[in-house]
Structure formats: structure tokens, C-alpha cells
Amino acid sequence: MTAKPAGANADPQFWARAKAHLVRYGGAFAPLIAESAHGNWFTDADGRRILDFTSGQMSSILGHSHPEIVAVARRYIGELDHLYSTVLSRPVVDLATLLAEIAPGKLDRALFISTGGESNEAALRMAKLVTGRHEIVAMSRSWHGVTGGAASNTYSSSRTGYGPAQPGAFVLPAPDTYRSRFVDDRGAYDWKSELDFGFELIDRQSTGALAACIVEPILSSGGVLEPPDGYIAALAEHCRRRDMQLIFDEAQTGLGRTGHLFACERDGVAPQYLTLSKTLGAGLPLAAMLTTPDIEDVAAERGFLFYTTHASDPLPAAVGLKVIEVILRERLAERAAALGTRLKGGLQALQQRYDCIGDVRGRGLLLGLDLVKDRRTKAPDPELAQRVAAECLQRGMMTSVVRGGFGIFRIAPPLTVEPAEIDLGLEIFDKSLAAALR
């Protein structure tokens, strides 16, 4: 974002101390000071309410400070907060049992840790241990985290400057329905040829040690790339033929956001591992790695080690239980589907009026708005996207533009967003596009 803080948000002491004492971990800080967050809004130092169309960092699916989450967190911080990592408690076993009931396929065993990167690390380590192989395939626009193994298989953002990735990290072209170079005679996206070619290249690079393929069912940080119908099933078949295990990273898509409880339900494919994070704690640090009993038994026999400080912590597990209870009780997946249709319709209406909107995509409440310099060439317009984001913030709405040189907004309000707030968000986009184009 290009704007500078103003009014009480400009507090010179605050910014001087931030500059003196904070590590800059991911680009410019937003030009405001957040003071509180409730429901689908947060409030800045000027008392200005800001509509949260990013769900915090894509996590707060129940909005902020949901009263039931607050009650559970208060209770557990006072009664049962954190334990030695091999000591079990009821919330942990209850959450594992509930996830086994609702997850696709036979993902009956769970490991609870804190972050998405860790959950993917755990799945990758287990796949390596169980298969005895080490090569991992991931998508060219993936984001799986910044820890070693996850970062080795993350391609949507900068890999430059951190030395070698783990050996055997291979890339598949991400399914980009809008910009793929693979088109058939009629100009339609030929995802099958692209996928087959991708695996042909992997076979040529592999030393016979393919272990797993890790995939987001919708590639969110890569620009909200929704694989076409049939793609994930075809990918799973490629993996099956090579005896590779499949890991679905549902950090962002999991627990209702896409209109299904798990995005992979649309594709009718159950993986060997499914990772959850952001949405599972709905803003608190909780992540899970789910796998099947067959796989977990082999891993345990071989002494699987993923021992972390916060493994099986009761407090976040109790929060995760409550998050899922609310999602199921309030039928939030269905709500996401319905409100997503309203939001997508509104964005498509804007596309009719603004030539700079090249594409509107995604499903449920995980939508992408792709800004271009020219609809014919589809050249991305990252500068325009930054200007629009700054205009949105000025008008009271937080948005997220993905990294990597594109001009793609990732639009993901909490699942508790009200229809009137969707309409307000659309109005703010409309005014902000107009202002940024002036």
C-alpha cells in the first residue's frame, strides 16, 4: 500500500518505535494502528471502523472476538492452558474425534500444532518416512509456509536469497484458467495437456524417489486459482500411478469458506493427508495434520518425530472444537456459498463497467479480482491494484493483493459477513476503482 498514516494513526512515537524495533517480514505495514476488532470490522486509532475483507490473515472466519470463542479462550486460559507435549487432555481427543467424523475419506488420525507451515512440514515428513522416498511435487503458484520443507515447495513468492531448497523439490504448472499458455484449437484452457506435460517433466527429473504431491485445492496466495472440474481427480490419478501420496493443504479453503466444509469435497478426492490451520483456530494459532490409520501406523512403527512445544495444547484445541461447532451449527459453509454468489455477482457487474477487471474467479467466499492493463494481453496491473487497495482502506475496507507481480485481489470476508456488508464492500470497490483510475 502506498498511503501514509494520517490523524491519530500517524502517532510519530509509535511509528518511530516500530521502525527502530520491528523486523520487516513482508513488505510495508498498513498505514494505521489497529486498536480493537469485533465482528467483521476492526477499528483504528482514529476510531474509524474498517470492514475486514481479509478475515485478518485469512483466518477469522467467525469474525473477530466471536463471543463463544472468547468464552472458551477465557475458560481455558484460566483452567487448562498448556502442558508437557506428551500429556493429553479432553479437548485434544475430542477435536481429533470430531475431525475424523467430518473430514473426507479415512483421515481418522490428527496431530495438533500451531501454524500452517508446521502442519505441512508434518505431512511432508510423514510422507517421506512412510514412503522411504524424498521427492515432492508442488504447484508453481503454491504457498505452503516459510519453514524449510514448506518453503522448498512454495513457488508463488520469492525464493531468492535463502540458499538451496530441499533436494527433490519439483514443480507442476499451476492451473491458471485465465492465463495458461496451454489452449486448445478453440482457445479453451487445455488443462489436461498441461497436467500431462507437467508430469512428463517430473518423470524426467525424478530419480525414482517420488514421495508426495502437495496441493491447495484453490491456490489462494498464488492468485485464487481454482482448478477446473476434473483437474484434481486427474492429478490424484497421476499420483496414484506413481505411488505418490497426496497432501491437500486446506489452510485457507478448509472449514466452509468455499461453500463446502472442505474444498476437496467438490472434487470428490480424498487425500492421504489433509492440513488445516488458519481457519481451524479462526484467528488463534492452531493447525492440524490429518492422515489415515494405515499411514500413521507405519509412521509410528518407524518412530515418527514431530515433537513441538505446542503439540496437543489444550487451549487452542478447545477453541478449534468451538470453531467447528459454530460452523456446523450455523451452517456457515452454505452461508459462504450463498453470500459468495452475491459477492461474485457484484464483482462481475463491476467487470462489465471497468475494463481493468480482467477476471473474476473463485468460489464461496474466496474470490479473486484480477486487474489488467489490457484485457486482450491480460498484462497484470500491480500498481493499479496497490492504488485501489489504498483507496479501499481510505474508504474503510481492508483488502489483500497477492504477491508475485500480479494485480490480483484476494477477497475473503469472514463467513459471518452480512449481506449488507457484502454490498458495502462492493460499493467501496466501485468507488475505489473509479478514484484509482482518475
Ligand X SMILES: Cc1ncc(COP(=O)(O)O)c(C=O)c1O
Rounded-to-integer distance, Cα 295 and Cα 10, Å? 54
What nine digits make up the cell of 356? Answer: 481493468
C-alpha count within 13 angstroms, C-beta hemisphere, residue 307: 9
Rounded-to-integer distance, Cα 424 and Cα 297, Å? 51
Nearer to ligand X, 117 or 425 (CB): 117
Indicate which residues carry an active-site annotation: 143, 216, 249, 252, 278, 410
Q: How far is CA 93 from CA 111, 253, 271, 321, 339, in A?
A: 10, 24, 22, 10, 33
228: left (phi over 0), alpha (psi -120 to 50) or beta: beta
What nine digits make up the cell of 405? Answer: 507481480
Least Cα distance to 396 among 1, 42, 12 occurs for 42
Q: Decide: 428 and 52 in contact? Cβ < 8 Å.
A: no
Nearer to ligand X, 5 or 149 (CB): 149
Geometric angle at alpha carbon 326, from 323 and 332, rounded to 5°: 105
Nearer to ligand X, 120 or 416 (CB): 120
User: Residue 197 burial (CB < 10 Å; 0-12/13-18/19+)?
Assistant: middle
Nearer to ligand X, 281 or 380 (CB): 281
What nine digits make up the cell of 8? Answer: 491519530
- Angle between helix axes 419-437 and 332-353 (nearest 10 degrees) is 30
| DSSP code per residue over 151-175 | HHT--SS--TTS-PPPTTEEEE---
Give the interface with ligand X as residue ranges (CB under 6 A).
Answer: 115-117, 120, 143-145, 216, 220-221, 249, 251-252, 277
Write phi, then psi, for 374 (nearest 5 degrees). Answer: -160, 125
Least Cα distance to 170 among 222, 125, 207, 119 occurs for 207
DSSP-derived 3-state class of residue 338: helix
Rounded-to-integer distance, Cα 395 and Cα 430, Å? 11
Least Cα distance to 104 among 292, 377, 296, 302 occurs for 292
Rounded-to-integer distance, Cα 181 and Cα 27, Å? 30
Nearer to ligand X, 247 or 372 (CB): 247
Rounded-to-integer distance, Cα 375 and Cα 178, Å? 11
